[in-house]
Structure 1
């Protein structure tokens, strides 16, 4: 029997990973799934995490817990973004090691790469330039998580891996009007505009930045694919000081074209305009996913299909989606 602790199982990504693992369990895999809500376990508390790890002694830890948000949230709450993410990573990774956990998977973010990184961004671009100012605190915390895993691997010979997803979306997303990421924010705004008969929807920035989007179910599959890889195969496709792996689709779309796609899916037929006084962020963020594809995994869910599915979930959960 294998005991697997999924940290952040109520979040969008953690929830998708948990569903995937539960499906494995239902088909006969001998695994025990361990979860804790924030009320049950505060991951920013060193003492609480230490007590939990020593009591449960999981065989595998998946660190999907994080404080996340879009440009507005990152600009408004930089202290919370760097502090909470650093504390969660330090506590979970170190206390997992202290409890004898040999295998761990940490989920990061594509924002770890420099603002002007060559496109598409390879894993080797890490720490080669300055970060995008709007999300620098969050990015620094995520970089620290990668280096924690690398350092414990080097010093103690454990198998702690990191996956760096591009922009994620899907069922379970956060549709808060101010603190959400761009795609769920657009879904909510265009839905409300269509319902209210609004003549014009204004989107932040120039509309020219290009972004890559990965469905959360694809991310869950990719995460467990990387986790399950034989260490020899994994090590053969990574470098000693470059142990994180990009996860994405390898294709991107402008924010304006994304808005048009969301308008189509939600049935909005009004005008779409831009507010250039708002920040664009990095102009292009496309992941080089050749390493993961060489290992044998590729994304399956197309963007329009995924947006339509996510909108359907939104419609079914308007009264209780995460705020």
Structure 2
């Protein structure tokens, strides 16, 4: 069964705008009234990431179960998934991030994955969405030995979280070190399909110059999770190779000063064929969550409602094979 969720990440345009319970309540209710069933969390550390990990959730809501009740009070069914960049630090255990390319980091990599997965099980979620490696500006092109190290590291993670009923879904982003020299396809070929699944992000693939529909058709059995969002520009200048591209390119827009890499699903100037992609999902017998995102939007609530309209009136009818002549809203 396909279900719709929304990413909580878009409600944090600045680090101090999403630290209080009233902001959380408003965000969850906006997601709910816009027609979504679940919410996707973003992993993080410290008081400015109150939904970022089990320790912070317990500190703010009494327990993980207390937060699930809070989610359900907003008329959402559950948390769908948790997005995790293992290279980011967790001050809760004084760790400074784990590099999946480093074999010595594997015990802590697995420990953190299990920590998140156990809580995700309690929250009703099913997929741990993980960034497989750092950006290209840090890793450079990955040779075959590096790809094998990544594959074996994530194999351990996938096996370790299975007991919680949580799947691993590696998430490729357009800044990834896997973008160079066909690294993503090489990692897919080197990893175990039973334990290492993929999260397909339509916008990230598009910005990287990869057709998300063609990618889905090549790997229908590997996709365990979907993040659906629109893209405004292709990184055809290959600025993803720059040092600190997370700031200079993703946030500041690179040399073209791109105002927004990601836009709403119904944006008539967007590059992602959302309807075509959802149709391809239906034909591939996909079973799982579709998480809609609008990263870095300046107007979070507006973006959720616009995307909710598109989901309810254009995209979900495709899944249900309901005929509709209602046009998308032109932005």
Q: TM-score range by the shorter chain?
A: 0.3 to 0.5
Select the structure of larger CA radius of gyration.
Answer: 1
Q: Bigger relative contact order, structure 1 or 2, given CA contacts below 8 A and separation 6+?
A: 1
| TM-score under structure 1 length normalisation | 0.36
| TM-score under structure 2 length normalisation | 0.35
